[in-house]
Amino acid sequence: DAGVTQSPTHLIKTRGQHVTLRCSPISGHKSVSWYQQVLGQGPQFIFQYYEKEERGRGNFPDRFSARQFPNYSSELNVNALLLGDSALYLCASSLDPSGRAWETQYFGPGTRLLVL
């Protein structure tokens, strides 16, 4: 079975532009979460979606938005890019976000975004 896939793998944008990142979860997984990992730091939670509805949002500005499609894939959108948005954006999938103690999240390879 394919794991979590993300596209594109790398992206270079300039300040003020908009970017869309894509994620396909593991087959059968209905929950997708997005994380931002700045170089040298641990990932920070951005959003969680389940069954096309937002289930959680981290401490990120409104420039960040996301959605989930009927096939459970997801997009992360970032408007008005800033230099500080340069990071590795990670997508993770799980069966559902109910927080069962034995359930893990599976991460994709990430999209490396560089804002110049």
Partner 1 sequence: KQEVTQIPAALSVPEGENLVLNCSFTDSAIYNLQWFRQDPGKGLTSLLLIQSSQREQTSGRLNASLDKSSGRSTLYIAASQPGDSATYLCAVSAAGNKLTFGGGTRVLVKP
Q: In whole angstroms, what is the distance from residue 32 CA to residue 72 CA?
A: 8
104 binds partner 1 (CB under 8 A): yes
Selection from 66, 96, 64, 100 nearest residue 82 by Cα: 64
28 binds partner 1 (CB under 8 A): no
112 binds partner 1 (CB under 8 A): yes
22 binds partner 1 (CB under 8 A): no
Judge contact between 58 and 76, C-beta under 8 A: no
Site residues for partner 1 per CB under 8 A = 4, 31, 33, 35, 40-45, 48, 55-56, 58, 88, 90, 92, 94, 97-110, 112
